[in-house]
Each structure stands twice: as C-alpha cells, then as structure tokens.
C-alpha cells in the first residue's frame, strides 16, 4: 500500500523541477573547463562495466567539434533514449548530453527516488503496470516542453500508444545493446554469488530475452536506431570490446544530422513558391 501511495504522488511530481533538480548534475562541459580537454584526451570505452557520472564522461575536443558541426541548429529539441536498461545505455546517453550541452535525466532514477529504491520500483512495475505507465505518461507530458534534454527512458515509454505518441514531440533513439551487458549488470547488483553462478546467468538471460522480444518492435519505431554491434562491425572491429563511447555517440550524431536534413528538405518542399 505504501508503494501505491508513493506512486500516486510520483504520477504528478516525479518530473517536476524540484525533483529533477535534486537528481541532475551539472554538465561536465562548461566554459571554465573547456581548455582542459585539450590536455587530457582519453578514449572512453563503451562498456567499462559500471555506470559513470556526467563528470567522468569527458567528450574530446574532436567529438565536440564534430557534434557542433552536425547538430548546430538542433537546439531545444528533447531526445528520448530507449532500449534495454544497462550501464552502457546510460553512459552513452550521458556522453551525448555532454556533447550537445543538454541536460541529462533518467526516468527510472527519478522514480527510484520517489518510491524508495530499485526494489520498490521493481515491485511497483510488477504489481501495478497500469499505474507505472500512467507515471511515465505524466512525466513525458511535462518533459515535452522542456527541450534541451536527454532523457534515458524506462520501458514504460514504449509500452503503450499514448507514451509512444509523446515521444514524437522530440527525437527518439533506440540504443540496441547486446543483452549480455544488461544481464551482467543485473547479476552484479545481486552480488558475487549470482555473478559466478551459470544458472543465474541463464535464468536472467531468459527473462531479459523474453522482455526484449516483447518490446523490440516498439523500440524499432524510434527516429534513430543505433546497434552497438553494427557500429563495431562498420568500424572494422573484431568485437564490441574495441568500441569507445565516442564511437557510438558519433554514430548517433551522424544519424541525427541526417534526420535534420530530411526534415528540412520536407519542410522546404511543402513551402509555396
């Protein structure tokens, strides 16, 4: 009952400015720290195994330049990142936000804040799917007017037509990551015993695979799809372990640039001569 009461509150306030500001960290890329990037370049591995903070995700000067050239006019349009939740997805979304000087938020993090942790959020999703989807709907409604935001979305954002429709107010991006990464993240949260137990891995993989199969068609309606495995293949890497976060973000930026061009051409074609 306590979870249900908290969820009702969340439906009207979990994306409000007061809640969002408690979770939001300032972007790494500020004018005061801009010059330091030139002296401390580093290759950000796409899959470090843990979720990094915004401050740790330092975009290189080269990536910032390419981003500015590609999406220079792409301002105040919210970006919604969907896909199987894992540290890699969140790290990519955070670096993207830093590159385009956007605010970053994660809907599941905000809900955990309101409900009292990961276990409470999981219980809420399982016991009241309708309520969970309503919370996502209310949050997305509030965020459509915010702009300049990268929102890492929970699965509720794609689980009904109402929420999918709200994603059309911005640009939706499906980051398709290997399920093994999400399984490893899940097992790490359960402790060392689960990580080393083959049965635990098999059970977790089966559960995530079923979830993925149920939602992949909904993920696929996104404006942009980025497959981590495809990016690695296109760059000639033998495995995704050779990828960097910047490789993936640059692929996203290129696809956003194509989207902007296509939209501009359509708008131009619709104008009277």
> Which sequence spans correspond to the domains of the chain?
2-25+36-267
- The pTM of this model reads 0.83
Type and span of the H or E element at 172: strand 171-176
Give the percent of the chain with pLDDT over 70: 78
Superfamily of domain 2-25+36-267: P-loop containing nucleotide triphosphate hydrolases (3.40.50.300)
For residue 9, what pLDDT is reported? 55
pLDDT for the residue 129? 86
pLDDT recorded at residue 32: 40
Residue 81 has pLDDT above 90, yes or no: yes
> H/E/C letters for each residue in 201-216?
HHHHHHHHHHHHHHHH
Confidence of residue 166 (pLDDT cuts 50, 70, 90): very high
The whole-number pLDDT of residue 214 equals: 95
Q: What is the pLDDT of residue 72?
A: 66
Distance CA 209, CA 180 (A): 10
- Separation of first and last alpha carbons in the chain: 62
- More confident of the two residues 109 and 23: 109
pLDDT score of 221:
95
Q: Is the pLDDT of residue 44 over 80?
A: no
242 phi and psi angles, rounded to 5 deg: -85, -10
Is residue 34 over pLDDT 80?
no
Q: How confident is the model at residue 37 (pLDDT cuts 50, 70, 90)?
A: very low
CA pair distance 76, 64, nearest whole angstrom: 18
pLDDT band at residue 264 using 50, 70 and 90 as cut-offs: confident
- Residue 109 Cα distances to 14, 19, 31, 79, angstroms: 10, 11, 28, 17
Mean of per-residue pLDDT scores for the chain: 81
Within 8 A by CB and 6+ apart from 158, the residues are 82, 164, 167, 215, 218, 219, 221
pLDDT at 45: 65
Give the model's pLDDT for residue 233: 95
User: From CA 190, how far away is CA 179, in angstroms rounded?
Assistant: 17
Average pLDDT over residues 177-199: 80
pLDDT over 60 at 39, yes or no: no
φ, ψ of residue 47 to 5 degrees: the values are -130, 70
Q: Report the range out of 42-56, 189-203, 248-262 with the highest average pLDDT.
A: 248-262
- % of the chain at pLDDT higher than 90: 39
Give the Cα separation of 158 and 154 in Å (integer): 8
Reported confidence tier of residue 194, pLDDT bands at 50, 70, 90: low
| Most confident residue range from 90-104, 105-119, 259-273 | 90-104
Q: Is the pLDDT of residue 78 over 50?
A: yes
pLDDT of residue 193: 62
Confidence category of residue 33, pLDDT binned at 50, 70, 90: very low
For the segment 223-231, the average pLDDT, to the nearest whole number, is: 96
């Amino acid at each position: 009952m306590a979870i249900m009461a908290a969820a009702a509150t969340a439906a009207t306030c979990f994306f409000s400015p007061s809640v969002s500001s408690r979770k939001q960290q300032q972007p790494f890329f500020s004018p005061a720290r801009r010059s330091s990037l030139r002296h401390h370049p580093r290759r950000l591995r796409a899959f470090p195994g843990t979720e990094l903070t915004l401050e740790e995700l330092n975009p290189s000067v080269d990536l910032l330049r390419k981003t500015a050239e590609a999406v220079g006019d792409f301002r105040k349009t919210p970006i919604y990142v969907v896909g199987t939740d894992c540290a890699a997805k969140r790290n990519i979304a955070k670096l993207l936000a830093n590159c385009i000087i956007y605010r970053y938020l994660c809907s599941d993090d905000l809900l955990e804040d309101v409900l009292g942790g990961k276990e409470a959020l999981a219980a809420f999703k399982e016991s009241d799917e309708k309520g969970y989807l309503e919370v996502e709907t209310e949050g997305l409604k509030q965020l459509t007017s915010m702009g300049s935001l990268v929102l890492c979305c929970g699965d509720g954002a794609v689980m009904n037509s109402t929420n999918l429709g709200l994603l059309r107010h911005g640009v939706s991006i499906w980051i398709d990551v290997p399920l093994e990464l999400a399984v490893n993240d899940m097992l790490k949260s359960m402790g060392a015993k689960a990580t080393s137990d083959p049965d635990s891995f098999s059970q977790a993989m089966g559960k995530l695979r079923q979830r993925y199969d149920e939602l992949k068609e909904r993920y696929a309606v996104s404006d942009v799809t980025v497959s981590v495995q495809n990016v690695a293949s296109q760059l000639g890497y033998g495995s995704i372990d050779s990828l960097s976060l910047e490789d993936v973000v640059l692929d996203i930026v290129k696809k956003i640039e194509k989207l902007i061009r296509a939209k501009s051409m359509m708008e131009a074609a619709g104008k009277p001569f």
